[in-house]
Amino acid sequence: MNFRRHNASHARSAIGLVRLVTVLAGFAFGSAAVAQAPAPVAAPADEAAAAQGEKVAEEGRDAYRSGRYADAIGLFEKAYALSTKPAFLYNIARAKEKLADYDNATKYLEKYLDAYKQQNAGAEPQNAADVKNLMRDFKQRAFEALPEVSISSVPPGAQVYIGVVDELATDVNPNEKGALIGSTPVTTHMKPGTYRMTLQLINHVDHRAELQVPQSGKLSLAIAMKIKQTRSGLAIVSNVKGAQVAVDGKVVAVTPYNGVLPMPPGVHQVTLTRVGYTTADQQVTLSEDKLTTVRLNQRASAGPPASWRSFTGWPLVVLGGLAIGGGYVAKTYADQEYAGSPLFLERQKLQNYGYYSGGAALGLGLGLIIWDWSRSGMNSDDLVPGAAFDDGVEDKPLPPPESTP
C-alpha cells in the first residue's frame, strides 16, 4: 500500500514536470508567434471585462436617455476602459454634442474611427460616411458657437488682418499682420483671447490695435480710418506777370509765384492764362515727397501794332518799285539808240539810277517791315525779369516741413 502511494506520488510529480515543460515550450513558441504576427491592439481583456464594460455602457445609455449627459460621458469612458469597444467612443461624442462641446465631440469621433480601424485591419465602420459628415457639422457648430466679432470702418472696404498674440514670444515682429479675414464690414467667430488686429485701406494710415475677444457674447467694433497725409509740392515758373495758375481747373496762384503749392500725389493739369497771351498747358505727375517745378512760356496772342518801321518801310517799298520800273523804261529807250550816242548814255544813266536807287529803297523798306513784324508784341512791363528758359518739368526732393516752436 505504501509502495503504491509512493509510485503514485512519483507519477504525479512526473506529470507535473511534463505540464511545466509544456507550458514553458508553449510560452516560448507563443512569443515567437507574436513577434511574427502581432495580435490585435484593442482586443478585450477577457469576457468578464467585456461583460462588465457592456453593463456599465448600458448604465451610460440610461443616463443619456434621461438627459444626464455628463454622467453618461463618465460611464462610457469607464466602459471603454474595460472593453475598448469603439462604439463607446462614438457614444461619448454624441453625449458631448448634447453639452455643446463640439470640439471634443469631433475629437472623440476621430478616436472612434481610428480605434475601429485598428481593431478591424484598417477597415472603416459602415457608418464612416455619416460620422465624417457629423464631424464637419460639429466643426461648423463649434465655429458658430464662438463669440461673434463684427468689425466695420469709416470709410468701408478696409482689409482686416488678425494675428495671434503669444505672450511668451520674444521675437514677434510688430509689423506682422496675421491672416486676412475679409474687408470691412466683416463678421466672424473667434475663440476668446487676445489678438493683433490690423486694418489697411489705400490712402489711409494703417490701424493697428489689440483685440480682446470675450468668453461669450458679441463684440462690435467701428473704426475711423485716418487719411494718410502724403506730401508733394508744385512750383510754377512763368515768363509773364499776372498770369492765373490753375491746377485741375481751379485757380490757385498768380505769377510770379515763388512759393510751393502743396498738392496730393498723382496726375494734375497745370494751366496758365492771361488776356492778350497764349494759354500754356502742362500735365504733370506729382510723386510723394517730391517737389515738381513746371516751367511754362507764354507769348502774345496777337501780332504787334504797326510802328514807324512799317510807316516808313511801305513808302520806301513803293518808291523803290517805281524807281526800278523807271530804270527799266529808261533801259528800253536806251536800247533804241546807238550805243555810245549822247542820248544812249543819258538814258543808260537814268536806267542805272532807277535800278540802284530803287533797289536800295526797296531793300530798306522790306527790312523795316520785317523788323516790325518780327517783334514779339510783348510789353516789357509784362515780362518777369530774367525769365529766359525752355518749357519743361523737373523733380527734386521736397524740403521737410518747417517746424513750429
User: What pLDDT was estimated at residue 69?
Assistant: 94
- Per-domain boundaries in the chain: 47-145, 148-224, 233-302+393-397, 308-374
Residue closest to 204 by CA, chosen among 135, 143, 154 = 154
The upper half-sphere exposure of residue 49, i.e. CA atoms within 13 Å in the direction of its Cβ, equals: 12
User: What pLDDT was estimated at residue 123?
Assistant: 94
Residue closest to 89 by CA, chosen among 109, 65, 66 = 109
User: What pLDDT was estimated at residue 168?
Assistant: 41
> Could you check whether 148-224 and 233-302+393-397 share the same CATH topology?
yes
User: What pLDDT was estimated at residue 10?
Assistant: 42
132-187 pLDDT, tens digit each: 999 999 998 888 888 899 999 999 999 999 987 654 444 445 456 788 999 999 99
In whole angstroms, how far apart are CA 200 and each of 172, 175, 177, 265?
A: 20, 12, 10, 19
Q: Note whether 165 and 196 are within 8 A (CB).
A: yes
Q: Note whether 192 and 214 are within 8 A (CB).
A: yes
User: What pLDDT was estimated at residue 379?
Assistant: 65
Q: Note whether 178 and 114 are within 8 A (CB).
A: no
User: What pLDDT was estimated at residue 384?
Assistant: 78
User: What pLDDT was estimated at residue 23?
Assistant: 31
Q: Whole-model pTM above 0.85? A: no
Contacts of 265 (CB under 8 A, 6+ apart): 230, 232, 286, 287, 288
User: What pLDDT was estimated at residue 130?
Assistant: 93
User: What pLDDT was estimated at residue 19?
Assistant: 39
Q: Please say whether the dihedral angle defined by the alpha carbons of residues 249, 253, 258 and 263, taken in this order, is positive or negative.
A: negative
| CATH architecture of the region 233-302+393-397 | Sandwich (2.60)
Q: Look up residue 142 and give its three cell numbers.
A: 463649434
364-399 pLDDT, tens digit each: 878 877 765 565 556 667 777 766 677 888 888 887
User: What pLDDT was estimated at residue 166?
Assistant: 55
Outline where 99-250 has alpha helix (H). 102-119, 128-145
Mean pLDDT of the chain: 79
How far is CA 17 from its chain centroid? 87
- Segments in the chain below pLDDT 50: 1-45, 167-172, 174, 403-405
CATH code, 148-224: 2.60.40
CATH 1.25.40.10 fits 47-145, yes or no: yes
